Chain A
Amino acid sequence: MQTEKSKAPHQTSAWVTKQLTLAVDCAIVGLTCVLLFLWYGFGAWTMGLGTFVGIPLLLLAVLLYISAVVTDLKTRGAL
């Protein structure tokens, strides 16, 4: 009974979970692109991959994360 009570406030909606999963995936791919550029330095392809693919993906991940947090807080009535 106590376990159910303690679990109840932590239920997240499927939409929030989806957003978080997508944010995590975008962040992993974005960070990998950025890491490749930072490690190998300036090259035509590494710079393009890092700056024009990696950074937009990281910004998308951050936006998705913020959106998920806001949605979650609104669902719980905290906002």
Chain B
Amino acid sequence: MMYPHRRLLPRLLAIAAPVGLPHATAWAAGVHDAVSSVDVFRSIGIVAAAAGILLLVLVQYVFRKRLVHGVYHRLLLVGVFLLPLAATWSTTTTVMEGTKSVQACMSCHVMHPFVIDMTNASSPTLAARHYRNNWIAKDQCYACHVTYGVTGTMAGKRDGFRHWLHYVTNTYPDPIQYVGSYANSNCLSCHQGTGKWERVKSHQALVGELSTDRIACISCHGPPHPLPKERTMAASK
């Protein structure tokens, strides 16, 4: 005898889960108004991870002796191979996309003064002016702090990992200091070639120096962020 409703319920759940879970994960993250691609990737990962844990615990520790050899191995194929691969893909994509957000940068408290300054409507810093005038629509930190291109993005992830390691091992100076040099290509990729940029005579005169980083854009247009002393003062208030 057939029981169509027994098949219908899992199918309905399979359809409803991808629709409902992004909202649930967005709610868990404290974002109620919009569902982004990161939420969708997260939802897929949550479903895969939860299903994998449940399946493996049941197969290995509850029903192991009752399962015939073939069924056991097929279930392991799903639980140890397919679902972990799905969870790995989802987590990697979530990290690669999610670390671009300002909220991800804010998750380490040393970045709070930078974000507070950036969102401050009266701050004169370059970051605040970009934010205030909506010159960068989203992912404002990432837009200026990653050299464009595939290798640049990987360099950004490498630096992110280094920063994370310093943070969790508490091996960083406070207030933090920027080491290295800031590539003008981050600025020029948006500004160079625009009418406003072209009209400035000094840009034309220094185009060679700017493109080879011999003169930094921020030497005229800075400071990009509050200075270490200002950040210490802001934190002590």
Contacts and interface: CB of A to CB of B under 8 A. Distances in A.
The main secondary structure of chain B at its interface with chain A is: helix
A30 B84 contact: yes
A54 B60 contact: no
B191 to A, nearest CB: 30
A35 B50 contact: yes
B164 interface: yes
B56 A59 contact: no
Nearest to A46: B107
Contacts of A40: 28
Interface residues of A, number: 35
A27 B91 contact: no
Nearest to B41: A38
Contacts of A35: 45-46, 49-50, 53, 87
A39 B69 CA distance: 34
A38 B24 CA distance: 12
Interface in A43-77: 43-45, 47-48, 50-51, 54-55, 58-59, 61-62, 64-66
Given A31-B84, A34-B45, A54 B91 contact: yes
B85 A62 contact: yes
Given A35-B49, A65-B81, A47 B95 contact: yes
Interface stretch (B96-104, B122-130, B208-216): B96-104
8 contacts: A35-B87, A38-B25, A38-B42, A38-B46, A44-B107, A51-B91, A54-B91, A58-B85
Interface of A: 10, 12, 20-21, 23-24, 27-28, 30-32, 34-35, 37-45, 47-48, 50-51, 54-55, 58-59, 61-62, 64-66
